[in-house]
Amino acid sequence: MSDNNKIWISLYIFYQDLNFLLKEGLIPFVNHICETESIEKYFFIRYNQEGSHIRLRMYVSENDKAQIEEKTNRFFSKFLKENASTRQFDHADFRPNNTFSYHEYIPEIYRYGGEKAILEAEHHFFESSKAVLSLIDNQDSWDIGIAQAKAIQLYTIFFNAVELTDDAIKKMMHIMNNNHWKRRAMEIAKTNDIDTIFSNLYARQKEIIERSVGLVKTILAEDEIEPEWVKLFHESLVKTDGELDRIFSNGEIVFDSESNIFENNQSDAKARIYVSYLHMLNNRLGLNNHDESYMAFALNELINSNLIRITS
């Protein structure tokens, strides 16, 4: 969504190695462009449809659009020429690799609670993107194991920032543990008993996971300054949660369909939106759908054990 005289630039960058593109391409680009141009916010999403690519959205003044696009074209033309990637396989429906193009941004307004709530979602996407890019920038390498470890830390921040009833959180966990992510994990594992596989994996990782959660909770409880991204992401989520409370109180959270799980109350409305927030956070980290299924299992274990949230 856009305000008067503000528009979204939507860029698709087709590239095989998205982790390399983010670390060596997108991070230096957004750092430079945000310093030199009036970009209010941006966010990115990973996609595989039509070939591996990053979708970058930048919120700018309409008067600055041409200049920003010119700088964008110059940067990514040079980057893709100097760092050309090779696809592992090709398909007739794929767009050309090592290319970029501009496309219309069509926000999923009612998935995120309506016209007022989508504005808050887009701000959250900006803060989420900054947090993930900060994590990637501070790692020598990035893989699924690292992404899963960072996801646990981000979930801990998330559930210590937002105000939800225990019932609403249980509904979130039900949705996240019984969707197409889980079916995809079953397909890959070639078994319907995926919970046993997840349980065994979690048992092996339990000590490391709980230590990671405890570290983040200590940082939050003691109001530590470092690492800065923890504090900034937490503060942004507290603000977002409060804004969604205000929007709901004004009767302005609107979905395009009824839910079989969530009721029409403030906490449930936020929880319904937050399922999508967490899905997009997982996406930015580089987790596939079957990875998300295990992460939902791990998160559910932490919540059921009363380990994820700080208690007085």
Same domain? 158 vs 242 = yes
Tell me the mean pLDDT in the region 28-53: 93
Same domain? 145 vs 261 = yes
Tell me the mean pLDDT in the region 283-296: 94
- pTM of the entire structure? 0.95
- Domain containing 184 equals 111-304
Same domain? 159 vs 188 = yes
Does residue 293 contact residue 185 with C-beta atoms inside 8 Å? yes
Q: Position 195: which residue type? A: D
Q: Which helix (H) or strand (E) holds 51?
A: none
Indicate whether 309 belongs to any domain: no
CA quadruple 240, 245, 250, 256: dihedral, nearest 10? 80
Same domain? 59 vs 120 = no
Collect all residues with Cβ–Cβ distance below 8 Å to 84 and sequence separation of at least 6. 98
Same domain? 180 vs 218 = yes
Report pLDDT digits (tens) over 175-233. 998 888 888 889 988 999 999 999 999 999 999 999 999 999 999 998 777 788 999 99
Residue 62's pLDDT is: 94
Has residue 1 got a pLDDT over 70?
Answer: no
Has residue 8 got a pLDDT over 60?
Answer: yes
Residue 154's pLDDT is: 98
Q: What distance in Å separates the CA atoms of residue 57 and residue 11, rounded to the nearest whole number?
A: 6
**CATH assignment at residue 89:** 3.30.70
Tell me the mean pLDDT in the region 282-297: 94
Q: What distance in Å separates the CA atoms of residue 14 and residue 9, rounded to the nearest whole number?
A: 16
Residue 139's pLDDT is: 95
Does residue 128 contact residue 136 with C-beta atoms inside 8 Å? no
Residue 233, CB half-sphere, CA atoms under 13 Å: how many?
A: 28
User: Which burial class, exposed, middle or buried, applies to 108 when counting CB atoms under 10 A from its CB (0-12, 13-18, 19+)?
Assistant: exposed
Has residue 110 got a pLDDT over 90?
Answer: yes
What's the total number of domains in the chain?
Answer: 2
Q: What are phi and psi of 111, to 5 degrees?
A: -65, -30
Indicate whether 310 belongs to any domain: no
Alpha carbon separation from 118 to 48, 110, 111 (Å, rounded): 24, 8, 8
Has residue 275 got a pLDDT over 80?
Answer: yes
Collect all residues with Cβ–Cβ distance below 8 Å to 181 and sequence separation of at least 6. 289, 290, 292, 293, 296
Which of 60, 85, 102 delimits the end of a domain?
102
Residue 180's pLDDT is: 83
Report pLDDT digits (tens) over 114-143. 999 999 999 999 999 999 999 999 999 999
Q: Position 199: which residue type? A: S
Same domain? 201 vs 287 = yes
Which of 72, 102, 132 delimits the end of a domain?
102
Beta bridge partners of 39: 60
